[in-house]
Amino acid sequence: MKRELIMGINAVSGLIDTAPERVVRAWLNPSSKRLTELQTQLESLGIAVEFCDARALEQRSQGVRHQGVIAEFRPRSPLGEADLPALIEQKAQPLLLVLDGVNDPHNLGACLRSAAAAGADAVIVPKDRAAGLTPAARRTSAGASERIALIFVTNLARTLRALKDLGVWCVGFAGTAGLSVYQADLKGPLALVMGNEERGLRRLTEENCDQLVRIPMAGHVESLNVSVSAGIALFETLRARGDSS
C-alpha cells in the first residue's frame, strides 16, 4: 500500500500511540521541549528520525502546517459499506457520524476529532465530491484519524437505507427542521447526518433520514460550521444517553 505523510505534534503522537508499527520514519526539528520528547519516543520505538531545518520541513509538508515534525507511515486499509454490519453488531448502542459532502479537509479533521472524543464508532463519508483523508485533515484531527473508523461509501442515500435496515435511527440536521435536537430521542443505535458546508443536506440524503432536527440559535447567525454542529450533536447525544464519564 502507498505510504502517506502525517504532520503536526498531536497527529504524529496519536499515530505512534495507536499504531507505532505503521510508522516508517520521521523528519523532525528538535526546536522545543515537546519535539525533543517526541524524538525520544520515536527513537525508543526504533523509528528512524532524520533531523531537518524548518525550510526542509516546509518543502516536504507542501503547505500543511507541520509544527516541526513529519512522519511517513503505512495507512490503514480503507473501510467501506460492507464493513458496517459487523461494526454495528458489535455495539449495543452504535453511534455514527455521517458527513454529506464536507469539502474542507480541516472540517473533516475537526469532525473526526469530535467524533473520537465523543466515543463515536465510525464516521461515514462519500468517496467522491468530498474531502478525503489528506495530510491537512489528518493534522487537524490531532491523531483522531487513526483512532476512529472512517468509512468511504459510493452512494450515501443507499448507505442510509442500509443503516436503517440494520436498526440504526438516522437523524439529519437541517436549519429548517421544526424539531430541536434537544427535543429529539437520541438513544439507541443512531446516525447523526450533517450536510455540506454551504448547501446543507442533499435532497436524497434528507429524504432517507428518519427524522430532521435543528440546532437552535439565539444569535443572528444563519448556520454553524459543520464541525461545530457535529460537536454539539455528538455531545448532546452523550448527555441524552446519560454518559457522565
Domain borders along the chain are: 4-73, 81-240
Q: Is 244 exposed, middle or buried (0-12, 13-18, 19+ CB in 10 A)?
A: exposed
What grid cell was written down for 80?
Answer: 467501506
Q: What is the pLDDT of residues 199-237, one digit of tens each?
A: 899 999 999 999 999 999 876 667 789 999 999 999 999
pLDDT higher than threshold 80 for residue 45 = yes
pLDDT higher than threshold 60 for residue 37 = yes
pLDDT higher than threshold 90 for residue 25 = yes
Given this model, what pLDDT does residue 72 score? 95
Confirm whether 4-73 and 81-240 share one CATH topology.
no
Given this model, what pLDDT does residue 198 score? 82
Q: Which fold has domain 81-240?
A: Alpha/beta knot (3.40.1280)
**CA angle 143-146-151, nearest 5°?**
130
Given this model, what pLDDT does residue 102 score? 93
Given this model, what pLDDT does residue 224 score? 84
Percent of the chain with pLDDT over 90: 74
- Contact yes or no for 186/91 (Cβ under 8 A): no
Class of CATH domain 4-73: alpha beta
Burial 154-188 (b: 16+ CB within 10 A, else e): eebbebbebbbeeebbbbbbbbebeeebeebebee
Residues found in the chain: 245
Q: What is the pLDDT of residues 156-187, one digit of tens each?
A: 999 999 999 999 999 999 988 989 999 999 99
Given this model, what pLDDT does residue 94 score? 96
Beta bridge partners of 70: 7, 27
The pTM of the full predicted model, rounded to 2 decimals, is: 0.87
At how many degrees (to 10) do helices 226-240 and 105-117 cross?
10
What grid cell was written down for 29?
Answer: 526539528
Cα–Cα distance for residue pair 159/165, rounded to 1 Å: 10
Given this model, what pLDDT does residue 217 score? 83
Given this model, what pLDDT does residue 219 score? 67
Beta pairing class for 169-173 and 190-194: parallel
Higher pLDDT, 65 or 190: 190
List the one residue out of 95, 155, 151 whose CA is nearest residue 125: 151
Q: What is the mean pLDDT of residues 121-140?
A: 91
Given this model, what pLDDT does residue 203 score? 94
